[in-house]
A and B are shown apart, each in its own frame.
Chain A
Amino acid sequence: MFDQSMGRRSRQANKVPQLNLNSMMDMLSIILVFLLANISADEKDFVLAADLTLPLSTSKLGFIKAVQVKLTTKELMVEDQFVAKVSGDKIVGTRIEGKKIVQLYNMLQRYRSFSKEAAKDIVILQADREFPFELLDKVLRTAAMAGYPNFRLAIQKE
């Protein structure tokens, strides 16, 4: 009797414990579904500039392909090409004639001549939400002078 009980215990001790994978599979499936739901094909092509916080909006408008102007707290760029420095609420280091930022104007005109985008007269503007209107106005007017009077203002959906 004593020997039989000892033998059973010994067999149980030698048995390799099996991991229960079912709960792990459940967890992984939930994570997978969550991640798949958060993938947006449109947003994949959109590269958000560093050093800016986009304004919040309820707009549901989707992305289009167009030339991007980025007005960050440090610099003004067209796509990823440097145009001018931004210091505080001012654009510095480039000639400004009235409301025309000359360097931006020249660069946008160059883009316009090369661009094969369907939306040829549209600029996507990424700008920091704390910027005052005067600063944005200069960028918007310059783009309009260069042949881009229509804009898509990049926002963060609420």
Chain B
Amino acid sequence: MAFRRSPDAEEINLIPLMNLFVTMIPLLLMSAAFYHLGMVSTSVPTVSEGESDAPTGKTSVSANVRITLKGYNLTTSSATLTPEELKAFDAFIPKKDGKYDHAALTGALERIKRKYEQSDTMMLIPEKGIKYKEMILAMDAARKMVLSSGAQTRKVNLFPVVVITTLVQ
């Protein structure tokens, strides 16, 4: 008598796979990051021997952003430009509704960058009482700008090199 297979389809045994998943999930839960951490690069001024590493050839401008309790105070400095030429970029950006106007700071820095594209250094000068989180937000505002050509937009570096310093009083 011939053996006849049951017409029912054979079910795959999912139990071992389930066991594997159930073991992996607690393991992954322990090492999963539910909020992501990152870094912001900065430095403080130091005395160094040798020549300056400032770019030579094309004119570059350093942006000096002073964070005051009333807003941002932007001035510029350059080894090659005259004080009159630099004065055109000076700006005071007051707080809006009690908050720093980051978009206006980005706009003011963009104007410098568009004219002197070699510029990449921002001196950040926080006043007494300025909170750390405000310093970080100012650095964020100075990091990138959006360039749009037609329908395409891309982000380019604005003033990514940040030096934190203080005013000598």
Contacts and interface: CB of A to CB of B under 8 A. Distances in A.
Interface stretch (A4-12, A39-47, A72-80): A39-47
B43 A151 contact: yes
A104 to B, nearest CB: 14
A158 B42 CA distance: 19
A129 to B, nearest CB: 4
Nearest to A34: B32
A151 B41 CA distance: 6
Contacts of A128: 132
Interface of B is mostly: mixed
A153 interface: yes
Given A32-B25, A32-B28, A57 B38 contact: yes
B36 A152 contact: no
Given A38-B33, A133-B135, A144-B44, A62 B22 contact: no
Contact of A57 (B15, B17, B28, B140): B140
Interface residues of B, number: 42
A149 B31 CA distance: 33
B41 A24 contact: no
A13 interface: no
Interface stretch (A90-98, A106-114, A134-142): A134-142
A152 B42 CA distance: 6
Interface string A110-131: 0000000000000010011111
Interface in A14-48: 21-22, 24-25, 28-29, 31-32, 35-36, 38-40, 43-44, 46, 48
Given A44-B31, A144-B44, A150-B43, A55 B36 contact: no
Contacts, number: 143
B38 A155 contact: yes
Nearest to A125: B42
A132 B33 contact: no
B42 A21 contact: no
A40 B38 CA distance: 11
A50 interface: no
B127 interface: yes
- The contact size tier of chain A is 35 or more
B32 A38 contact: yes
Given A38-B32, A43-B33, A134-B128, A62 B39 contact: yes
A29 B21 contact: yes
15 contacts: A28-B22, A28-B25, A39-B33, A44-B31, A55-B137, A57-B136, A61-B39, A133-B128, A136-B132, A137-B166, A149-B43, A152-B40, A154-B37, A155-B40, A156-B38
> A-B pairs with the 3 shortest C-beta distances?
A35-B28, A129-B133, A152-B39
Interface of B: 14-15, 17-18, 21-22, 24-25, 28-29, 31-46, 126-133, 135-137, 139-140, 143, 164, 166
Interface of A: 21-22, 24-25, 28-29, 31-32, 35-36, 38-40, 43-44, 46, 48, 54-64, 124, 127-134, 136-137, 140-141, 144, 149-157
